[in-house]
Structure 1
């Protein structure tokens, strides 16, 4: 039969089997299915699963019967060519061939990584569009070309060799296994068993590379002495083991470490029965994952599984030493980051050294346990806490006067060298520690809610951090003097101390009175002004009854000298209040001076308002007021100086925006949220800021955010939830719809402004006002459109480097859109926002509704004080 050129059809499930279809010149077809390299002989022979050959001549392709017969033959041949998931003795898997698990989710075959030219045998996800390698056999010995072959010998040994017979990788013999078979399971585990099944003589799960898959174990097999740790690739081009590793510690209470060579750099904390204390967010994973730790005579190991077995997930250690849990998103065809570590400064092992406590919510993050002081005060002040802390007073074990101080909500110290007893109660644990002069701390060791267990530490306590969402109580041993003991001796020390303190205080009071009298005579009369708030200044503050406030005052000449007579070189900027100047006081302290301009759109009322509010507020995310100046017509406020100026100077300047990587942006978002929560809920007053925007967020030298400019702020009474004003003040793009349209403001108005600010931080784009006829012309409309289309990733600022934690970014965009919803009752509170920012899960967030950007009417007058986006808005109502 005359043949034309062959058309090769390779089924996706079986690259080993080639279906060759030849169309004859007389409309007949020849069909041949063969397995290259098999022992199939003449074409007339049929060997089930190895070779099927046949010739069907003169099928009338124009008839219905002919097409039906054609389709039947092809369907039959395709089903017979189904992919294999195993090899037996005498079979080969060549370079162009592969094995596929029975459920089709995993493939074993040869691959070339990245820009490399070498070939490796590995396993990857078969149903994922992005080739993701999860196991490599010959990671240390690549094959130079496509000549590799995998086989299994009669004794069950897997052998990877090339055409010349050079062996690149092999396993040991499978002792006692009859008719060994190597099979790729639906779990991705590649195993060697007998032909009839039974125990695994060898399995790839015992020899991980850089990934932990569901039902795979990370840890020690005590019976065999095998350490199932995993190591990252050297690079994306080289799967050879990198310098990091992730392993389970067999000493003390079970915990996982990431190590760089032999140096530990991250620790999971001890296992609590459902989560590790250093990974409290695991408690929020219950809808997707289950976790477990086994700790018995046979093994100490960690494992996890997916609730929905169709979901693809892996825990991977990257070449830079970052562990990451990812899940496959079928809609976006990408791996979404679900969790990663180390993720912050306190995640690095022992950031604050022995007896130091790390708290990421404070700056600086390190502090000493009560009764301890920095070992090197100089380094401590330089933000280097690695030397840790030392005792203020030595312990006195022999006299039995020692006690304990509780460190609450702690990630317990490293337990590698600790003594653990799972049957001892907490009181017995305390007594055992007091009896042992080497014991420095104790804690509960319960695992699954039993309430019993004891951990005793000797030596230094390392890697302690505050963990509000999943921490435990740690009891640290202290000398009596550092406990405030009630013993007679301690009482005498206290009486003596009080006496000395009283005498010193009396002298200081007398000296201060004399100094004040002298200063009062010297100071001009205008400089003794006490800032009084009119109790009935307007309808917004009449209910508050602000009292008088004595403000530390600077004389005009001092401030003029500090600012070099308010020189242009020292001018930092200008807002509605007036110009702001940098200055340096006589003691060297740098300050920022706000000078009320004579033509300022903010007047004396706003000046007094800011003084009363900011002087009574103390929070690490609020700017600190140092004093003021009222002399003649001059009105000035003196603040701590922020060397990095305001957030907008970085965020909207493409040349500087790259400085704000995602870690810094997320830190700024969290800081602003905590500051706003303090104003709304935790301060002595409930305060509505009313002018939250990027230019009012100042950045200190460590890029920590501080909310500033309280001239427009208002205090709410105990039960007050909202207020109405005839004078709407604020900035285009940040004001909520109900405020700018109806003059109604509340905590939800600030929440709206925060949402705008969050979206600006994520995108690096400024919201160009809400009241535009075309929603896509402003940031909120643009963000909403991308969200509805599932293209939220396009909103992320391109100036940030790649590799951002997209799950975290997604959560911030989701939260931002919830905050800017049109109706205030739909917006969350700042307490809820702060809680959600601290939770490492986006699945619990509700879907946002349309933002408030659609209105086009403008029932107000506008007076500009600068750029088009920095305006004060005033609305008048008819009487």
Structure 2
């Protein structure tokens, strides 16, 4: 039986002293410290925490095999890293890494955690090369997230700081740019992937040459996006950039340094700017209520953000169609490529310059051109800038350097103007050099003080006469063209008919908002689309050979073609003998020429010549969805990920039509044959012949002429002619169920009263057997949750009452979120009807009907 062993007070004191010395002999840091000195170190499992409890530094791993030293937000559940030290040389053993202060006050990461400061393999070092060694160096994690090395007694001056060597993240008060005295360049570079923080393929760097601006570059140092130069308020290419009480922006440009930074005055606001592994710049803000990061701003975000999208002297505008325009006095350099909406070759002058008589054309709301080689003088005012540019025969344009105080400073360009863009809101004024005759033809120079440059009297008289003759000729030409086109489209003068403009006017009108609406849509029915001549289209289609025919319908035929430069096209040729289709042809030109979305088919141009009416589209390698989905020999290529991608793509395209496009558009004939598939089986909505434009406040409309396809038409539309966005939602729901099941929805009951696809899916849903709807050809690799989510979304979209159906923004949310709450569907709408041709059930052609005035369109997928 055990007992208690007595111990003396002296022995107890000795024992406690021993344990105290034992514990203090290890240089480990607790997780609450923010500093280590030269006698301490940091190993795996130990961290430094900033005194405000926001940032944490330590070793981390994303794949359990490679370990890095980094800094992250301490209290954000979704661990977000803002800096990585040894991104190129990770630790391979979690227990072997150590961070310490080494020789010369350098922070080092070594492979082992024991021994002297010189022991172990060196993986990373601050590599400070100053001659003088610090006496008592310490490393501290500041409240800003900056890891610094300094003398223990000097809190102001840093021997080294992580803010000078950022990785993929720019934090508040970090500098993005150059220290011109030391040659230090601070820039951010993406991770290689989400799980690999080593140096990736994208960098965001400030170029201090000329008029400084920041460029996003890929791994080959090719520029893919630029911010535009700083104009005193913001970067000229970021019109949404505005300082607020919580956040303000700074740009310093002097002989010592050039940099951009931002400051957050509200300590509760967590914001960061990153470049991710896919090449996207993102400003993220933490939302505490939802415990998630919110995307506040990103770039590139549209076609006009792509560097040099419209080439030299081209101006890009996402509100125009096409997006590239030549300014007044210029024409496309490569007309054929321009007709195909490839503006990368840019524009060239129509009239040679004469230095002594040239003028300047004002452009409003502009992102200034690439300013790498621009000349900047901060002392000039804008009038002096104009005079200096006029005297310099090499000067191509000028602008204010600073617009924050009524315009100060001068920027002049002496080479080609690259990467210009127009904004409806934002941007700034710039002035482009033009020949005197082009200025006169435009309507005269709009000078800085409403006073015009005074050329010689003889020149004024000559230019006036020439411009008058030119304008008279253009007017006569335009009238003749319009009458000719109206005759070709039916012989009736229509107030809202499609109007052809001469190609020169189409491509070379000045893109100035004061002259016309910049989008080119002063007349909403105006044809703003490249025109192909008949011979080009005939040659491309091998003279409309039967071998090139892709399909045939009531409108005519669709042919595959190949242009000389190797671009595959699909040509929709309106039949000369068809009494139907002219209105649909005009409608499609009016609508789709102005719509641009990755999930809408791209209209390249049209041909209206020799009594021909043709539409030229991009060619879709896999033709229409129905030609693959309902063909058992092909449907197996549509595995579940591809089907789900097609469903989501159609949803995004329809959301664009209903909500995000410049018009609210109801398609009215959404069906499998009108969904085209490209080479990667991405979906594109096509055939806008029956579409209708809605006003932004318009809810629904009624028509006497119901057009569409049985099986896809909503009940209220088929029976009463009432259509709205909810009509398209119904059609989308049918499409979803067809894509999931691989079966057609007939839109009516068979003679033996079998249910159609909607009824069949509804019956299985109520019986909790919904997975039986899934097409067996999908195979065994699929997500049951995704399948069930799609079936439920499909049933919600085909509910009988329009008010019960979701709008497309909610549909996209439900499809994209595994946690979105979805209501239970109600009875689907069953549209009854009889098939006028019982043999057509086996036909590969769709059945499109006009219900009230019975006309039939037999349309095969293109």
Which bin holds the TM-score, normalised by the shorter protein?
A: 0.5 to 0.7
- On the 8 A contact 1:644/1:700 being kept in 2, the answer is yes
In 1, Cα distance between equivalents of 2:704 and 2:182: 79
Which range is displaced more, 619-628 or 406-415? 619-628
- On the 8 A contact 2:709/2:848 being kept in 1, the answer is yes
Show the 5 A alignment for 1:90-239: 90-111=39-60, 114=63, 119-127=67-75, 132-140=80-88, 145=93, 146-152=95-101, 156-161=105-110, 162=112, 163=115, 164=119, 167=122, 168-172=124-128, 179-195=136-152, 198-201=155-158, 202-222=160-180, 224-233=182-191
* Superposed displacement of residue 203, structure 1: 1.7
- On the 8 A contact 1:696/1:709 being kept in 2, the answer is no
More relative contact order in 1 or in 2 (CA 8 Å, sep 6+)? Answer: 2
The answer for the alignment partner of 1:540 in structure 2 is none
For residue 397 of structure 1, give the secondary structure of its aligned residue in structure 2.
Answer: coil
* Superposed displacement of residue 672, structure 1: 8.7
The answer for the alignment partner of 1:258 in structure 2 is 216
In 1, Cα distance between equivalents of 2:401 and 2:726: 46
- Listed one character per residue, the Cα deviations across residues 173-225 of structure 1 (whole Å, up to 9, x for unaligned) are 69797744322233321123454662141321122123222332212235654
Q: TM-score, normalization: structure 2?
A: 0.62
Gaps of 5+ in 2: 5-12, 445-459, 495-536, 596-601, 630-634, 746-756, 771-782, 788-792, 814-818, 853-862
The answer for the alignment partner of 1:20 in structure 2 is none
The answer for the alignment partner of 1:317 in structure 2 is 275
The answer for the alignment partner of 1:392 in structure 2 is 350
- Listed one character per residue, the Cα deviations across residues 536-593 of structure 1 (whole Å, up to 9, x for unaligned) are xxxxxxxxxxxxxxxxxxxxxx99xx999996x6664467x587443889x9997434
- Listed one character per residue, the Cα deviations across residues 350-379 of structure 1 (whole Å, up to 9, x for unaligned) are 244332334456676544433234556677
1:231–1:492 Cα change, 3 Å:
same
1:235–1:508 Cα change, 3 Å:
closer
Show the 5 A alignment for 1:260-279: 260=219, 263-272=222-231, 275-279=234-238
* Superposed displacement of residue 395, structure 1: 1.7
The answer for the alignment partner of 2:389 in structure 1 is 433
- Listed one character per residue, the Cα deviations across residues 629-665 of structure 1 (whole Å, up to 9, x for unaligned) are 99xxxxx985446532866469967847999999999
Gaps of 5+ in 1: 3-24, 27-39, 54-79, 517-526, 534-557, 598-602, 631-635, 682-686, 783-793, 799-813, 842-846
- Listed one character per residue, the Cα deviations across residues 144-172 of structure 1 (whole Å, up to 9, x for unaligned) are 65434322369744344454255441454
Larger radius of gyration: 1
1:414 to 370, 379, 400: 370
The answer for the alignment partner of 2:593 in structure 1 is 619
Q: Is 1:85 matched up with 2:85?
A: no
For residue 387 of structure 2, give the secondary structure of its aligned residue in structure 1.
Answer: helix
Q: Is 1:489 matched up with 2:462?
A: yes
* Superposed displacement of residue 751, structure 1: 7.2
Q: Is 1:610 matched up with 2:596?
A: no
In 2, Cα distance between equivalents of 1:154 and 1:752: 69
1:365–1:295 Cα change, 3 Å:
same
For residue 396 of structure 2, give the secondary structure of its aligned residue in structure 1.
Answer: strand
1:573–1:223 Cα change, 3 Å:
same
* Superposed displacement of residue 461, structure 1: 1.4
In 2, Cα distance between equivalents of 1:725 and 1:385: 41
In 2, Cα distance between equivalents of 1:107 and 1:762: 49
For residue 107 of structure 1, give the secondary structure of its aligned residue in structure 2.
Answer: strand
**Alignment size in residue pairs:** 707
In 1, Cα distance between equivalents of 2:378 and 2:740: 51
Show the 5 A alignment for 1:318-717: 318=276, 321-326=279-284, 339-359=297-317, 366-375=324-333, 388-398=346-356, 401-421=357-377, 424-448=380-404, 450-485=406-441, 487-494=460-467, 572-573=550-551, 577=554, 580-582=557-559, 591-593=571-573, 607=581, 610=584, 613=587, 619-621=593-595, 639-640=615-616, 643-644=619-620, 648=625, 655=637, 673=656, 690-693=668-671, 695-696=673-674, 708=687, 710=689
How large is the RMSD of aligned CA atoms in angstroms? 6.5
- On the 8 A contact 1:98/1:108 being kept in 2, the answer is yes
The answer for the alignment partner of 2:855 in structure 1 is none
In 2, Cα distance between equivalents of 1:506 and 1:578: 29
- On the 8 A contact 1:269/1:278 being kept in 2, the answer is yes
In 1, Cα distance between equivalents of 2:489 and 2:342: 44
- On the 8 A contact 1:220/1:300 being kept in 2, the answer is yes
* Superposed displacement of residue 87, structure 1: 0.9
* Superposed displacement of residue 476, structure 1: 1.0
1:795–1:186 Cα change, 3 Å:
farther
Q: TM-score, normalization: structure 1?
A: 0.61
